Homo-oligomer: A and B are copies of this chain.
Amino acid sequence: MKLLIDRIIKDGKVLPGDILKVDGFINHQMDVQLIDEIGKEFHRLYGNCEVTKVLTIEASGIGIACFVAKYFQVPLLFAKKSKSKNISDNVYSSQVASFTHGSVNTVVVSKEYLSPEDKVLIIDDFLARGEALNGLIDIVNQAGATVVGTGTVIEKGYQGGGDALRAKGIRVESLAIIDSMSDDGSITFRN
């Protein structure tokens, strides 16, 4: 998505430790006009897939998924990070490792809101090793629902999570795929 890639080049910052800082327009401060265009683009990509629900994970996925759900005119469901180790019978749960925070979270979705009839589009801001997407796919599978595909804003292609999902036959759409970043700040995007 040219609008997004141009913005990453203009305002993104490569920091030591393999960090791409986009918190001026995506995941702390959000440029809602850009996010609205991102929602429109995912609707262009998945608009003929009879999506019944958009699923994401708190916190930074929520804003993006809101605009996606608006274009599909379907509900948005966000998985919650559970602080409790006692998971009730009323939720689907999965384990998601966060490499940014060096922790493992249990994420939960109420069984009330996913059913076998659902066709689910999974949305998130970043795709690196694919931990969050795999957790959400696990939850959709537990519900017996269908994963239509995934939509992420920025994929770190060189970390392999996206390609591993594609190899499993899952449709993975990322609006900007980064093949490499270097400490001098340069970013190479996949064509």
Residues of chain A at interface, number, CB under 8 A: 35
| Chain B contacts for A35, CB-based, 8 A | 66
Kindly provide the distance from the CB of A167 to the nearest chain B CB, expressed in whole angstroms: 31
| Chain B contacts for A58, CB-based, 8 A | 58-60
- When chains A and B are docked, how far (Å) is the Cα of A103 from the Cα of B83? 11
**A59–B78 touching, CB < 8 Å:** yes
Cβ-based interface call for A28 (8 A): yes
| Chain B contacts for A33, CB-based, 8 A | 70, 73
| Chain B contacts for A63, CB-based, 8 A | 62-63, 65-66, 76, 78
Cβ-based interface call for A75 (8 A): yes
Residues of chain A having any CB pair with chain B under 8 Å: 23-25, 28-33, 35-36, 58-60, 62-63, 65-67, 69-70, 73-78, 80, 83, 101, 103, 109-110, 112-113
| Chain B contacts for A80, CB-based, 8 A | 28, 59
| Chain B contacts for A69, CB-based, 8 A | 30, 32
CB nearest to A102 among chain B residues: B83
CB nearest to A80 among chain B residues: B28
Task: Please name 14 further chain A to chain B contacts, defined as beta carbons within 8 Å, in addition to the given A32-B76, A63-B78, sorted by A numbering.
Answer: A23-B110, A24-B113, A28-B77, A28-B78, A29-B75, A30-B66, A30-B75, A30-B78, A32-B69, A32-B74, A33-B70, A58-B59, A59-B62, A62-B63
